[in-house]
Amino acid sequence: MAEQLLGKRVAVLDKGWIELIDLMPHPASGISGDLAIINAARVSFLGESKGPQRDKRLLFYLLRNRHTSPFEMVEFKFRVRAPLVTWWQWVRHRTWNMNAQSGRYTPFQERDFYLPDFWRKQSSDNKQASEGLLAQQADADLRQKLLAHYQEGFRLYSEALAAGVSREMARLFLPGFSVYYTWVCKIDAHNLMHFLRLRMAEDAQYEIRVYAKAIYEHFFSAALPWTAQAFQEYILNAD
């Protein structure tokens, strides 16, 4: 199963995606991620197993009792395309290793902007959250205005580039929070579970919640099925 994950790309939001570009242990090693965690806990040679039943029982014991260091022996590396409004949330998790596309080196394209499918209303009792959707007509009007804003910003950006302005300065014309960037990101399974617990929660901002759910459903659960079961039982359900 794990060998089918490398290179898999999942669409997120209107123009975003997330792709698994590397995994440790590598599928070619013949060692599953769950077994790598178990072997790390036993400090044994890679590939040594005491049978599925005992192995799975040990893994569940580890997570249930928060013996988390063995879970750091598994790592995921992703290539992610997401709008800056998502990245502002993501970079708060400093256990991720990240490297980002730079607008100083590569020019932006006309379609590199996030256009939401709907407008959420401000929550009445949570200053940092949204709740409910805007009425249909108001939603459509604001979508058109946002699109016009993007088109004008990109027109001015292109005009500045054509005039000889440097890419690092021309991008000042672009609507900042909505621009899509591509990043390479790496994290171990222990810290990924912490990220998923927080960012899959219903009170997490929608624009990062959809990425967290994509990671969990398409990559984490497939690469670490036993760990995903234990995570669901002892961490998500516990919350």
Cα–Cα distance between 103 and 211 in angstroms, integer? 23
If pLDDT is split at 50, 70 and 90, which confidence band does 3 have?
confident
Query: Under a CB-based contact definition with an 8 Å cutoff, are residues 223 and 23 in contact?
Result: yes
Among 17-26, 49-58, 160-169, the range scoring the smallest mean pLDDT is: 49-58
Residue ranges of the domains in the chain?
2-99+179-236, 115-178
**% residues pLDDT > 90 (the chain):** 75
Q: What does the pLDDT read at residue 118?
A: 87
Check residue 46 and give its pLDDT. Answer: 56
Sign of the dihedral defined by the CA atoms of residues 205, 206, 210, 216, in that order: positive
| pLDDT of 33 higher than 80 | yes
Decide if pLDDT at 165 tops 80. Answer: yes
Pairing verdict, β 180-188 and 75-83? antiparallel
State yes or no: pLDDT of 223 exceeds 80.
Answer: yes
Instruction: Let me know if 109 is exposed, middle or buried by CB neighbors in 10 A (0-12, 13-18, 19+).
Output: exposed
For the ranges 61-75, 118-132, 212-226, the lowest mean pLDDT is seen at 118-132
Beta bridge partners of 23: 76
Neighbours of 138 (CB within 10 A): 12
Model confidence at 122, in pLDDT bands (50, 70, 90)? confident
Per-residue confidence (pLDDT) for residue 56, from 0 to 100: 96
Q: Please report the pLDDT score of residue 135 as a whole number.
A: 86
User: What pLDDT, on a 0 to 100 scale, did the predictor assign at position 130?
Assistant: 82
For 92, the 3-state DSSP assignment is coil
Token pair of 119, please?
């407008």
Domain 2-99+179-236 indexed as CATH 3.30.1360.170: yes
State the average pLDDT over residues 45-67. 87
pTM over 0.75: yes
Confidence at residue 120, expressed as pLDDT on a 0 to 100 scale: 87
Active site residues: 199
**What stretches of the chain adopt beta strand conformation (E)?**
9-12, 16-24, 75-83, 97-100, 120-122, 130-133, 180-188
Residue range 98-107: average pLDDT?
89
